[in-house]
Amino acid sequence: MKIPARLQPLVDDGLIDAVLGQLMSGKEAQVYVVRCGEERRCAKVFKEARQRSFKQAVQYREGRRGRNSRRERAMAKKTRYGQQEQEQAWLNAEVEALHRLAAAGVRVPTPLGFVDGVLLMEMVSDADGRAAPRLDDVTLSAEQAIAHHDAVIREVVRMLCAGLVHGDLSEFNVLLGHAGPVIIDLPQAVDAAGNNSAGMLLRRDVDNMRAYFGRFAPALHDTDYGREIWALYEAGELHPDSALTGRFVGDSTAVDVDELITVIEDAREQQAWRLARCGEAQDEE
């Protein structure tokens, strides 16, 4: 195909040998299949800021730190420099998230370069070597749905253990690769510890997955992994291999009965002591 203008610099630099085609365009970006030597890769081109939609909302940016205070001040002032910096920070966010997650063992496309606002990455492929379908493109048996749901939940947990919440997880942003589900599309990923909306976004992500896989395996509708995962995270007890039940009961911390009885007895003793004091005071009058 004719080389899109945005990819020309990468062709000139020899990073891309040919552009083979374009994948279905999403909300924020255009993704091309390109050939680099013998390999097929994906090149993601971000749309201009004014063409993009909701994801730059303040909600997602909170807790993201700029590299230096000059940049942060400029971003806050909305100067032209500030806007460019904002743009760059947004583009960098996906690249940084991909590096961080790949290092933490989360199944995401391996990032292979970021040049002139174009992200080069591994192409997630199906069993025939073609670009993998999105969850939205496939029909699953109940068994497959449960197995893939399980796999996605494990990835979400691993992501959270690496400090990130996807924030826009849906059947459009999970590909079904030849070795299982792969999470994509991360420019809006939020800092789990530094963002007040992180818990809400995590539950929404997980609930989206339940709604999608629940179409094929209705038993999943009775699960509540989102709250369970967030409660474990907040308690500092979440690990990549934490055992999960899919159930959430108000307060999930086990009750220590002996300790509870001691607390009740203490309270009773104090009350008795107070009543006795009260009686003494009245006697004195």
Ligand X SMILES: Nc1ncnc2c1ncn2[C@@H]1O[C@H](COP(=O)(O)OP(=O)(O)O)[C@@H](O)[C@H]1O
**Residues annotated catalytic, as ranges:** 168, 185
**Looking at 61-69, 128-136, 210-218, 272-280, which segment touches ligand X (CB under 6 A)?**
128-136
Q: How many residues does the chain have?
A: 285
Q: Which is nearer to Mg ion, 26 or 214 (CB)?
A: 26
Select the residue interacting with ligand X from 74, 75, 106, 131 (CB under 6 A).
131
**Looking at 3-11, 75-83, 171-179, 211-219, which segment touches ligand X (CB under 6 A)?**
171-179
Nearest-CB residue for ligand X: 26
Q: Does 202 bind ligand X (CB under 6 A)?
A: no
Where in 151-180 is the site for Mg ion (CB under 5 A)?
173
β-pairing verdict for 118-122 and 39-46:
antiparallel
Q: Identify whether the C-beta of residue 173 lies closer than 8 Å to the C-beta of residue 184.
A: yes
Residue with tokens 């100067």: 79
SS3 assignment, position 270? helix
CA–CA separation, 11 and 18 (whole Å):
7
β-pairing verdict for 180-183 and 174-177:
antiparallel
φ, ψ for residue 25, nearest 5 deg: -75, 135
Q: Does 274 bind ligand X (CB under 6 A)?
A: no
Select the residue interacting with Mg ion from 85, 155, 185, 228 (CB under 5 A).
185
Q: Identify whether the C-beta of residue 93 lies closer than 8 Å to the C-beta of residue 186.
A: yes
Select the residue interacting with ligand X from 173, 195, 208, 223 (CB under 6 A).
173
Residues binding ligand X (CB under 6 A): 23-24, 26-29, 31, 42, 44, 109, 121-124, 131-132, 134, 172-173, 175, 184-185
